[in-house]
A and B are shown apart, each in its own frame.
Chain A
Amino acid sequence: MAVGPDATVVAPPLETAARPDAAGASWRRLGRLKWGVGGAVVFLLIVASAVCAPLISPYDPLSVDIKHRMTPPAWMEGGSREHLLGTDQVGRDLLSRVIWGGRVSLLAGTSTVILSSIIGVFFGLTAGYFGGRVDWNIMTLINVMLTFPFVLLALAVIAVLGPSLANMVKVLAVTGWPVYARIVRAETLALRERDFVLAAKALGMSHLRIILGQILPNLISPIVVVATLQIAQVIILESTLSFLGLGIQPPTPAWGNMLGEGRVYMLNSWWIAAFPGLAIFITTLVINLMGNGLRDWLDPHMKL
């Protein structure tokens, strides 16, 4: 995400400040939200298919059947109902692999986001609440980490540790937390001066109680919005790494490595790469729509 000069994250919302026309504004708001709702529905469908993969997948995604390799999708000549989306270069059913691949991608996305948000919220809260030297130290760390292109970092660490799902999640989580930290810090700084916090302090509440009780609940909205948008980012990063051969290794199905393996077949058996690519596109799209919708709904004025 982009970073503005005053250290807030600046990525434009789909709509800026509401205009004076109140009635019209709320109608428009609902209208705009239809995209977010639509996105959420499709996303839930994708999640459901990923979770229920063992139940709905027609075949084992790893079962090889070279006699039926590279059969086209069912609606094309040479295709069959047995394999709705066709088979890949060693005869594995493509539909099954796309479903299971979604499972892997979503797993990678959510676990990374959970990890990095926990780390980021911790640092952001600490920096924003306590201020002073602590803040300066953490801000410098955040700056270093944000300017260091973390794609490079991810590549370098994987070079040393070896490619795997676990390593990838670790690396992406550790390099992704500054995004959360920055938002959380900015919001915490603002919240710190609000009346109810000052009142709590006057009452003698401990720092921990104030943070957990007063500040954190107000951070839920921005964290959720950022986390949602970050899932899409991570999915794209995971598929990029897998495409380069540095992420999830075949034969485990992951959309990125399926695309990478399918590249050489683009000119004849195009479906091997096309469907994983489509899956990445649709998933990322609906997550973005959902995230934008969430932000508009929770607080359109949020400087995200």
Chain B
Amino acid sequence: MRRYLLRQLVQLIVVIIGISILAFSILHVIGDPVTLLLPQNAGKEEYARYKHLMGLDQPIWVQYWKFATRAVQGDFGKSWYGNTPAFPLVIERMPATIYLTVSGLGVALLIALPLGVVAALKRHSVVDTFCTMLAVAGQAMPIFWLGIMLIIIFAVRLKVLPASGYGTWQNFVLPAFCLGAFLAPLTMRLVRSGLIEVMNMEFIKTARAKGVGERMVVIKHAFRNACIPVVTVLGLQFGQLLGGAIITETVFAWPGVATLTVDSIRNQDFPVVQCAVVLLALIIVIVNTAVDILVGLIDPRIRTGA
């Protein structure tokens, strides 16, 4: 058990370092921040002066070390266009994004769990085929299309929900549904296949042989065990969840980190982009590790296997 935890922590640290290197190199290796900051006809001395001012004339590993040590203290520099420090700017927008992703996840589960269970139990039936087809179609639907349609139908035509914004529970409904619908197809298929696999296992047959009612079999034994792969995959889907959140936030003008990142990219405001990328990646990585640990706690096979 302890070895498992240790392994997970080591992996976490390695991944975090990898992320920081990646985020750093994006700006400093691929691009040239000085040319991005200065007006185009700045002369050579101006260029050199700026370079020195920003500490960009030092060897790359010194720059990285500075970046990393400052980052750990929460200093990601100042936004190039707001004169406010980047870190608080990103942190301020985090709750909105987190609420959105959590509610999106909730909606996805609400849709996927019942459908997945029904499809698994009534395998090969019309219901099953219908659900599967729905899932395949759902996976093909571009999420921004869905979002725009939802706004037109529910906000403009029916006028029952707000078209955008943040603050009341009504503001959550459409974005959460949009994000949830984006995740639901894959989740449903996972629940279905996970449940099918479990249902065929020995201990289920044993329970059946013992004469336990079918419903009890499903609820007590099958479902609980099927939860494990579902939870694992969902935790690892956090990355994809974020991809969906980026679009959902943009379409619904949601004041979260994703819209901040996209805006900063358009404005070429790199300190903010860097900070947002690192923080988001950090959260994903931590969630993944937490899920891994959790799953390891529940299912001893995973700890010893692989």
Contact = CB atoms under 8 A, between A and B. Distances in A.
Contacts of A140: 11, 14
B232 A259 contact: no
A27 B250 CA distance: 47
A141 B1 CA distance: 25
Contacts of A13: 193
Nearest to A287: B140
A11 B189 contact: yes
Contact of A244 (B30, B262, B264): B262
Interface stretch (A44-52, A106-114, A143-151, A212-220): A143-151
B97 interface: no
A246 interface: yes
A4 B229 contact: yes
| A contacts with B: majority SS | helix
Determine the interface band of chain A, counting residues with CB < 8 A from chain B. Answer: 35 or more
Interface stretch (A76-84, A127-135, A197-205, A278-286): A278-286
Contacts of A273: 148
Contact of A5 (B18, B190, B295): B295
A280 B196 contact: no
Contact of A161 (B30, B141, B243, B262): B30
Interface in A246-304: 246, 259, 263, 266-267, 273, 277, 280-282, 284-285, 288-289, 292
Interface-central residue, B11, B22, B140, B152, by most chain A CB under 10 Å: B140
Contacts of B266: 245-246
B22 A148 contact: yes
A156 B26 contact: yes
Contacts of A180: none
A149 B148 contact: no
Contacts of B196: 16
A6 interface: yes
B268 interface: yes
A5 B299 CA distance: 11
A156 B22 CA distance: 10
Interface in B180-220: 186, 189-190, 192-194, 196-197, 200
Interface stretch (B57-65, B66-74, B166-174, B281-289): B281-289
B interface bracket (residues with beta carbon within 8 Å of A): 35 or more
B277 interface: yes
Contact of A3 (B26, B136, B152, B233): B233
Interface in A85-128: none
A210 interface: no
A159 B142 contact: no
Contacts of A153: 22, 26, 277
A155 interface: yes
Contact of A160 (B30, B144, B233): B30
A284 B265 CA distance: 28
14 contacts: A2-B236, A5-B306, A6-B302, A12-B189, A16-B193, A16-B196, A144-B19, A148-B15, A152-B261, A152-B277, A240-B247, A244-B246, A244-B247, A245-B266
Interface of A: 2-7, 10-14, 16-17, 28, 140, 143-144, 146-153, 155-161, 232, 236, 239-240, 243-246, 259, 263, 266-267, 273, 277, 280-282, 284-285, 288-289, 292
Interface of B: 11, 14-15, 18-19, 22-23, 26-27, 30-31, 124, 132, 136-137, 139-145, 148, 152, 156, 186, 189-190, 192-194, 196-197, 200, 229, 232-233, 236-237, 239-240, 242-243, 246-247, 250, 261-262, 264-266, 268, 270, 273-274, 277, 280-281, 284-285, 288, 292, 295, 302, 305-306
